[in-house]
Amino acid sequence: MTGAIESSSFSATIDCYSAEFGGNGPYGVAAYAEVLKSSFDFSIPDFALHQPFFARAELRFLPDLIVSRAQSSASRLSRTGRTIASRATDQILVVTYSTGHFDVTIDGETRRVEPGQVLFVDLAREIAIEAPHVDNLCLAISRHRLEALVDRLDSAHGYIRPDDALSRLLRGMMERVITDGPAISVVDARGIADALFRVAAAAMAPPSRQSTNSGRATASLVDIKAFIEERLLEQAMGPQVLLEHFGITRSSLYRLFEPLGGVSAFIAKRRLTYAFRRLSDTRTARDRISRLAEELGYSHPSAFTRAFKDAFGLSPRNVQALAAHARDHDVPLMTTREPLQFFTPLDKG
């Protein structure tokens, strides 16, 4: 994990930390925001501005992943285009609440996540999470480790898995890592991390849902979106291609995508999101904007630039510049030594 704190090879057990914020302690809202800033912009929701602030956090570092537990008063976490471009964190988060609910907003759609359900978040995509009270477990996984295990990883963003057997297994494993962390040996950590990767990958495979029956065939929104992802760069991709492939009626297709702004709008936004990922990827050489615009089917780079700026509030060149800054300053995947100044190392078992 580039820039992250991992267990030292000579340590008997993995690195574990805890911290408290607010109350009578020395660290308050600003310190907590500093801890979170590589992943999210943190704020207190308007309805809770006059309520006392508190937060407790625990971190457990395993190879290529971090397990954390957080409890806090009301919070709002967001990732905008600017956040993503300037803080090149490219992880998948697995978030579940032990008690209480939280609301997640993606592409203008807000959904509620209940206790026991599991939310998957792609940190390369925009999102806002708001909760009246936080009591969560979180798994931060290096994206490159999941790419070999999960088909259609780009479709995982915003998927909410129900409180089923697989969700409970994953949550139980995360809880054990938190509980047993100070006693987990560096030797065992690799095997535990591998097991977490595989269970998390299995949980990301959504069951067929949001189906529509046209009388000729049954198609799920999940399958149609996955089909779009696989052929995103094909110039012909559009409603007609989907109708022919899935054999559903036009009204059924449009009804499925109506909450997402329509079929064509969804495809256009996914292409722009693909472009954003390419432009903000610090691991690859800079793309020529004109070539990327042509690849995505735009008649002229200026048309691409206008659509991109309308979608993200930043021009393609702005995103490239912010990403270059992140690359030059070795922006971390999750946590660096600077935020860890607010944490206390736990005694190793």
Q: What's the rounded Cα separation, in Å, for the pair 1 and 332?
A: 8
User: Which string of DSSP letters, residue by residue, matches 80-149?
Assistant: -HHHHHHS---EEEEEEESSS-EEEEETTEEEEE-TT-EEEEETTS-EEEEEEEEEEEEEEEEHHHHHTT
Q: Rounded to an integer, what distance in angstroms lies between the CA atom of residue 181 and that of residue 86?
A: 32
Q: What is the residue-level pLDDT of the chain in tens, covering all 349 positions?
A: 333 434 344 458 999 999 999 977 789 999 999 999 888 999 999 999 999 999 999 999 999 899 999 999 999 999 988 777 776 567 899 999 999 999 999 988 899 999 999 999 988 888 999 999 999 999 999 887 887 787 777 778 889 999 999 999 999 999 999 999 999 999 999 999 999 999 999 998 765 444 444 434 457 787 888 889 888 889 899 999 999 999 989 999 998 898 888 999 999 988 988 888 888 776 666 678 888 888 888 888 899 999 988 888 888 888 888 777 655 444 444 445 567 889 999 886 5
What is the CATH number that goes with domain 211-328? Answer: 1.10.10.60
Residues of the chain with CATH 2.60.120.10: 16-207+331-345
Long-range Cβ contact pairs of 249-255 (< 8 A, separation 24 or more): 249/214, 249/215, 249/216, 252/212, 252/213, 252/214, 252/219, 253/224, 255/212
Give CATH 1.10.10.60 domain extents, the chain.
211-328
CATH no. for 16-207+331-345:
2.60.120.10
Query: Looking up tokens 């472009």, which residue turns up?
Result: 275
Q: Can you tell me the distance from the alpha carbon of 118 to that of 108, in angstroms, rounded to the nearest whole number?
A: 20
User: What would the DSSP string read from start to end of 143-173?
Assistant: HHHHHTT-TTGGG-TT-EE-SSHHHHHHHHH
204-212 contacts: CB < 8 A, separation 24 or more? 204/120, 204/146, 204/150, 204/153, 204/156, 204/159, 204/161, 205/150, 205/151, 206/155, 206/159, 206/161, 210/256, 212/248, 212/252, 212/255, 212/256
